[in-house]
Structure 1
C-alpha cells in the first residue's frame, strides 16, 4: 500500500515561515521556488512569500532602480503596508519581490528645510566614498524624527549574487546620528554575509557594532567628517576580520576538516578554495577574502 502523510495547513504555514525567512542574500527567489515545489499550495506560498519577501528586502537593504537612481529598501524608509518612499525622486511605492516589480507608485512630499539640506549634503559625501571603495555599492541617507529630535540614518550596501560562481556575498552597514550642535554621537553596525555552495554548504556571518563622535561645525564639515569616520571604521573592521581568520587558522582546521557524520569523508577545501575567486573585493580591500587569503587560513 502507498501510505502518504498529509501535512496540515498549520504545519505548512509554520514550515514556510521558518524556512523562507532563512534565505541567504541573493537567494530568496530560489528558496521560494524550491519550497513551492515541496508545499504544493500556490495560494499559501504567495501569501507568505509576499510577507517574507518584504522582511528579506528590509533586512538586506535590497537596491531598486527608480529613474536611474538606486533606492535601498529598509525599515527606515518604510511607510507601512509594505510601502516605501524615496526622498530623491519624491515617490512612494510598493515592491513585489516575487515578480521583481514596482507597484502603486505615487508622489511623496518631502519638506525642504535645513535638515533636508543636510541630508542631501551627507548623502553626496557618502556616495563619493562608496563609489571609490565598492565595485557596485549603493547608499542612502534618510531623515527620521524621534521624540522631536532629528536624526540622519545612512545605509550602505554592496553585493555579489551570481549562482554560476557558486557563492553569494553581501556587505552592508548602517549609521545613525542626531542633528545637534557642536558634538554628536555616531552609532553604526557593519555586517558581512557570504554563502558558498559548491560541494559544500558553507555560511559566513560577521558583524560588529561601533560608536564614535563627530564635531559639528557646519554642513560641509559634518558631511565630510562623517564619510571619513565611516571609511576609518569599515577599514578597521575589514582588517580585524582578516587578522581574526589568521589567528583562528588552527582551530578552523580542526572544525571544518572533521569527519562528516553521514558520508564519513573529508571536505576537499583546497579544491573549493581554488574555485573561489573573490568575496566582496572593493578597491581598497573591503572583505578582502581573496584566494590567497583563504588558502592561508584553510589549508
Structure 2
C-alpha cells in the first residue's frame, strides 16, 4: 500500500484510515463501505482485530435498531445501554444480550434487572415515548434507560431512531434524537440533540448532515405527568426542526440550487429545441 518512492504505511495507520472510513459510512451503507475497505486493506485478520472497535462505535452512534426474540418492538444499540464485552441490555423486556456488530444480530439472552429506584420513571417515559414514535415514525424505534442518583433524583435518557433506506432509488436517510433529563428532584430541564443524515447518490454524491441542540424547562411532577410533559416538549421540538429543514430546502431550491445552474447558454439566448430536433448538430454548425 505504497506508491514508488513513498514510505510504506504501517498497520496502525492502515487501521486508523479504515476505521475513519467505517465511522463515516452513510446510513444504510455500512456493508458497502466495509466491503470496499476490506478489498483495499486485503488483510481480514488486521481488519477484524484492528477495526472492530469502529464497527461497534458506528452502530452505537447510529442508534442501530435490533429486534430481540420474543419482543414486538425493536430496541436500540447505543452507548447508554451498553454493558461491555459486546453486551447490551433492553430495559423494556428486562434482558441483556450479545450483539454481533457485523451481522447486526442479537444472541445469548440473559435476564437483566433495571435500576429499581429509576424503573417507575423510566417505564412511564417509555410508554409515552413508544406511543409517540408509533404515531409519528413509520419504522421508528426507541429506547429509554434510567438510573438513580445519589441525590435521590433519577437520570433518564431517551433515544429515537427512524430510517428509510432506498438503495434502488439511490438514497438513504436516518433520523436520530437523544434526550436527557433528571426528574424527582424539583424543576428539571429537558436537553436534546437532533440529527438528520441523508445521502443521495444518483449521478452524483450529495449529503445532508444536520444537527440541532434543544433545551426546554420541564415542570416538576410525578412519573406519569413528567413523562407526558417531556414527550410533549420533545414532540414540539422535533416538529419545529423538521419544518425548519423543509423550509430551508424550499429556500435552497428557489435560490442556491438555481444559482448553481446556468439559466441560459453563454449567448444569453434560449435554445431552439424544435430546430435542434429538425437538424443534426453537424448541419446546424455548418449553417452558421
SS at match of 1:224: helix
Give matches, 1:233-272, under 5 Å: 233-248=237-252, 249-254=254-259, 256-257=260-261
Which shows bigger deviation, 6-15 or 234-243?
A: 6-15
- 1:117 Cα shift? 1.2
Q: Match for residue 123 of structure 2?
A: 120
Runs of 4+ in 1 over 4 A off after TM superposition: 3-7, 145-149
1:72 matched to 2:76? The reply is yes
- Separation of aligned partners in 2, 1:49 and 1:241: 34
Q: Match for residue 167 of structure 1?
A: 171
Distance 1:83 1:144, change over 3 A: same
* Contact 1:61 1:172 (C-alpha < 8 Å) held by counterparts: yes
Distance 1:43 1:126, change over 3 A: same
Distance 1:101 1:238, change over 3 A: closer
- Separation of aligned partners in 2, 1:26 and 1:245: 22
1:17 matched to 2:19? The reply is yes
* Structure 1 unaligned residues grouped into runs of 5+: 259-299
Equivalent of 1:61, from 60, 63, 67? Answer: 63
1:142 matched to 2:181? The reply is no
Distance 1:104 1:257, change over 3 A: farther
Distance 1:198 1:86, change over 3 A: same
Q: Match for residue 267 of structure 1?
A: none
Q: Match for residue 290 of structure 1?
A: none
* Structure 2 unaligned residues grouped into runs of 5+: 263-288
Q: Match for residue 215 of structure 2?
A: 211
Q: Match for residue 266 of structure 1?
A: none
Distance 1:112 1:144, change over 3 A: closer
Q: Match for residue 180 of structure 1?
A: 184
Q: Match for residue 288 of structure 1?
A: none
* Contact 2:128 2:228 (C-alpha < 8 Å) held by counterparts: yes
SS at match of 2:24: coil
Report how many aligned residue pairs link the two structures: 254
Equivalent of 2:134, from 131, 135, 154? Answer: 131
- 1:220 Cα shift? 1.9
Distance 1:147 1:94, change over 3 A: same
* Contact 1:16 1:48 (C-alpha < 8 Å) held by counterparts: no
Distance 1:57 1:100, change over 3 A: same
Q: Match for residue 108 of structure 1?
A: 112
Distance 1:146 1:219, change over 3 A: closer
- Separation of aligned partners in 2, 1:129 and 1:110: 23
Which shows bigger deviation, 205-214 or 97-106?
A: 97-106
Equivalent of 2:225, from 212, 216, 221? Answer: 221
Q: TM-score, normalised by structure 1?
A: 0.78
Higher-Rg member (1/2):
2
Q: TM-score, normalised by structure 2?
A: 0.81
